[in-house]
Amino acid sequence: MSPIREVISDKKTNINPIWIMRQAGRYLPEFREIRKKNPNFIKLCLNQKLSSEITLQPLKRFELDAAIIFSDILMLPYGLNQKVEFKKNLGPLLGKLNLNEISQLSEEEFVKKINQVYKAIKLVSGNQLLKNKDTIGFVGAPWTLLVYMINKRSPKFKLIDNFFSDKTSIKKILEILDKFIKIHIKNQIDNGAKIIQIFDSWAGLLNESDLLKYIYNPTLSLVEFTKSLNVPVICFPKGIKNYKEYSEFIKPDAISIDYEVDPSLISKEIKIPVQGGMDPKVLLTDKETIKKEAKRYLDIFKDHPYIFNLGHGILPETDPGMMDYLVKTVKDY
């Protein structure tokens, strides 16, 4: 069994596997070379040869314990025929949402549209570099995808004013998302994903009174589905205030924490394996600070099943040499 699954399934505390969110991509010069020639981000995600190559790039450089497929949570609305494009300095921009059209979309049409993602997972998981390591597949949580689909762009901490005005449509979109996210999860697993991570990047936008309806119940449905396929599931509800309540309600196999929570409180309150936490900005400092911060997390979780990761994606301006130093620090702990 791979080190990450040993921590998740066997609750091992004597090992500290490491992988990094967004490890495949923007901070690596070899990725930038590919990106320069492939300006269309969606097309790049749908190029099985290139996306599998990008997925493996960090494993050629660093002693990481998993590959996370180079893709995007917005491949889901794209598969549902909502226009998705990535604009420099603006991030993702989504087109008009046609509820009638997506209500009638068949599973076959959806899978056909994003099938290259599954083919890339198959290529990656069969690679020698993945011996005793995991291929991680992922999806966006229903709430975060709903935010993008209605907002049509990154909310940057604010939803459009009339976001909740059409409750009937929201309910319908969430039902459609539940169906197609499960299809997306199953296809990733069928092609070699050994772990699924659910990213709820905008969990921090909601009031506590709305969590049950928009986050807890919809995410629980996905977690139970993934567990029924005998694959561990990690949840990352970035910005949520109460990780303890979230973990106890949704019961993922592991919980990934952001950099705004107190790790010592998490280690006392949360019974399940924990992942992540370190601020990505630490990698923009110096070796001494990196070592000190990494050691702080490793010390706090030394008697708790723990997977080392960051509290969000690695920043584009990170020096690969600093990433290398972090990985070695964790491995030598």
- Report the half-sphere exposure of 161 (CA within 13 A, side-chain side): 0
CATH number of 3-332: 3.20.20.210
**Residue pLDDT, tens place only, 125-158:** 999 999 999 999 999 999 999 999 999 999 986 7
Q: Give the total residue count for the chain.
A: 333
Please answer whether residues 130 and 67 qualify as being in contact, where contact means their C-beta atoms are separated by less than 8 angstroms. Answer: yes
pLDDT of amino acid 139 = 98
Bridge partners of 91, per DSSP, are 87
pLDDT of amino acid 157 = 65
CA neighbor of 157 nearest in space, from 73, 256, 238, 217? 238
pLDDT of amino acid 210 = 97
List Cβ neighbours of 135 (8 Å cut-off, separation of 6 or more). Answer: 66, 67, 68, 69, 121, 124, 125, 192, 193, 194, 195
How far is 258 from 235, CA to CA, in rounded Å?
A: 11
Q: pLDDT below 50 — which residues of the chain?
A: none
For residue 197, which phi and psi values (nearest 5 degrees)? -110, 135
Please answer whether residues 300 and 273 qualify as being in contact, where contact means their C-beta atoms are separated by less than 8 angstroms. Answer: no
Every domain of the chain and the residues it spans: 3-332
**Residue pLDDT, tens place only, 265-294:** 999 999 999 999 999 999 999 999 999 999
pLDDT of amino acid 26 = 95
pLDDT of amino acid 215 = 98
